Amino acid sequence: MPTTEITLGAALEAFFADKDLARNSLRTYHQTLDALVEDHCPELVLVKLTPAKVRKTLEKRWGDAAPSTWNSRMTALQSFVRYCDRNEWIKRHPLKGIKRKREPRDETKAIAYEDIDTILSDPGVGLREKLLWRMLYETAARTNELLALNIEDLDVGRKRAVVIGKGGHREVVVWASGTARLLPRYLNGRKRGPVFVTSRKPNVVPADSDLCPDTGLGRLSYQQAWKQFSQASKGSTLHQLRHSALTHLGEEGVSAILLQAKSRHSDPRTLARYVKPGVEAVAALTAEFDRGRRFRQ
């Protein structure tokens, strides 16, 4: 097929056949690139994929999402465009003028445990969300790792699961009693397929790996999970549950070695930014060593 006649669908098929991606990355890439096909049709000749068309899909799907979500979609698109460029399938850059979003550094990332408990105790929060949020906090896992879990990955009796971590490595996360109580209730007898599923059957049939074979429900997306927690927490992010768990353990005096094992960071220097003591710990420290208070006694 001449270069000028390569279609979007054919290019994507070649791209995924050539790529060896970890499961989490593969899901994100498919969500992003499949959206292009749905919005602009697989027969679209690739040279006619303009920045305006790409921006339309990005804004429509992820315009209101967190900057990190927007940027993860940009990463997928950039990888695809580089692949097409190497194969000389494009003449002009389809991402020209489309920028990544700034992810502001938040020095108050850790959420106080009392506030987390309040969110988890809200009677208006559904069982699925309570389980996901509790599991995120108790395991200190990354959100995509838990959303990618299948029931077959769980060891319910030992309160642990095998996740696919960064770099595609198989790693173990461990939860506590809160998750242990909620998990059987949520699974409700399901024995296979995705752990976290949508509330309704999807309009577009997902890949077999993202479909519950018993209920026909699809795997819960990061965007939907993020939206639910953002609303319930009034603006906090799912990643803050991981950060908060590690910070709270650090404030309790847990050693750096154990924190590194819990977080599964390969570089202890990376861990340091997650275990900065929170405001409440600083307030407690200040009160304990308040010389003025002791002088007045």
Among 91-95, 119-123, 141-145, whose mean pLDDT is lowest? 91-95
Give me the chain's average pLDDT, please.
Answer: 88
The verdict on 7 and 135 lying in the same domain is no
Q: What is the pLDDT of residue 24?
A: 72
pLDDT tens-place string over residues 33-44: 999 999 999 999
CATH code for position 44 = 1.10.150
| pLDDT tens, position by position, 67-78 | 888 998 999 999
Q: What is the pLDDT of residues 254-294, one digit of tens each?
A: 888 888 899 998 887 777 766 666 676 677 767 777 766 65
Whether 231 is covered by a domain: the verdict is yes
| Axis crossing angle, helix 127-139 with helix 222-233, rounded to the nearest 10 | 90
- The percentage of the chain sitting over the pLDDT mark of 90, rounded to a whole number, equals 58
Query: Among all chains, which residue has been given the structure tokens 């502001």?
Result: 104
Of residues 248, 272, 258, 261, the one with CA closest to residue 110: 248
Q: Are residues 117 and 38 part of one domain?
A: no
Q: Report the domain count for the chain.
A: 2
Question: pLDDT at residue 142 above 90?
Answer: yes
Average pLDDT on 232-240 reads: 90
pLDDT for res 105: 58
3-state secondary structure at position 160: strand
Question: Where in the sequence is the domain holding 66, given as residue range(s)?
Answer: 3-86
**Do 129 and 31 share a structural domain?**
no
Give the model's pLDDT for residue 292. Answer: 65
> Which of 96-100, 143-147, 267-271 is predicted with the least confidence, judged by mean pLDDT?
267-271
- Same domain assignment for residues 21 and 133: no
Determine the average pLDDT of the residues in 104-116: 77
Copy the structure tokens of residue 217. 């429900």
Asked if pLDDT for residue 190 goes beyond 90, the answer is yes
In a domain, 126, yes or no: yes
CATH of the domain at 255: 1.10.443.10
CA distance 49 to 31: 18
Q: Which residues pair with 160 in a beta bridge?
A: 155, 174
**Does one domain contain both 69 and 23?**
yes
**Quick one: tokens of 273?**
């930014």
